[in-house]
Amino acid sequence: MARKISKNLAKARALVEPRSYVLADAVPLLQKAKYAKFDETVDLTLRLGVDPRHADQMVRGTVVLPHGLGKTKIVAVIASGDKVKDAQAAGAEFFGGEELVEKIQKENWTAFDALIATPDMMKSVGRLGKVLGPKGLMPNPKTGTVTTNVADAVKEIKAGKVEFRTDKTALVHVPVGKLSFDSQKLIDNATTVITSVVKAKPSAAKGKFGFSRVWWITGSAHNFQLAIGASSEG
């Protein structure tokens, strides 16, 4: 027996035709179909033409969204010496050294959205894998969260830096803002993400590297497949 859906969801779905939409058309339609009482986060999901079973075909990187995410991320920094002061001055909410490592380890404390660490502290931070790993919070040089320049790292995250990486099904999920954003801002953010993912093409990905499917998902589970024609020959 089919599950009964609400009238609001039925009205929203009725606005969407069974076809692909270009980016410039999908965003306004997504906003028109809104019915939730909260300001939904808009996620961009990309299915890539790679085989994630092979480590050399993993796609991973970071990008600073030109218009941010519509919320300020809470940042923690584990560092030593003057780097702790740099983190505080840059706007990190939490900062410290071994005492912060101990708090995370003993209390399973993760009241932050991003964690930055200096290289000299990674031996201690490495003990936190069981706490940080499952939540995607482990600092990593590839994402710029293991660095000696903690001030810039904090500022980038505060400005809307997001991470993308393929999961085991070759999907990449990236938040691109809030549904209340101006349409053009969402388009700009999404375009920036798409361009960055294309540039992150792994050398082991032969032939076409692009998107076999692209769609939007919001908190109300609207889905819009996009025909964006973003692919790369190689």
pLDDT of residue 59: 85
pLDDT digits (tens, 9 = 90+) for 34-86: 877 888 888 888 888 777 788 888 888 889 999 998 888 999 999 999 999 99
What is the sign, positive or negative, of the torsion defined by CA atoms of 137, 139, 144, 149?
A: positive
Radius of gyration of the chain (CA): 20
What is the distance between the alpha carbons of residues 23 and 13, in angstroms, rounded to a whole number? Answer: 18
- pLDDT score recorded for residue 158: 92
Residue 22: exposure state from Cβ atoms within 10 A (0-12, 13-18, ≥19) = exposed
pLDDT greater than 80 at residue 210 = no
Domains in the chain, start-ordered, CATH in brackets?
Answer: 17-69+161-233 (3.30.190.20), 75-158 (3.40.50.790)
pLDDT of 234 > 50? The answer is: no
Q: What is the pLDDT of residue 153?
A: 96
Is the pLDDT higher at 224 or at 202?
A: 202
pLDDT tier at 220 (50, 70, 90 boundaries)?
low
Distance of CA 122 to the CA centre of its chain: 23
Tens of pLDDT along 115-173?
A: 999 999 999 999 999 999 999 899 999 889 999 999 999 999 998 898 888 888 888 88
Buried b (16+ CB within 10 A) or exposed e, 70-88: beebebbbbbeeebbebbb
Mean pLDDT of 91-109: 96
pTM of the model: 0.76
Structure tokens belonging to residue 1: 């027996």
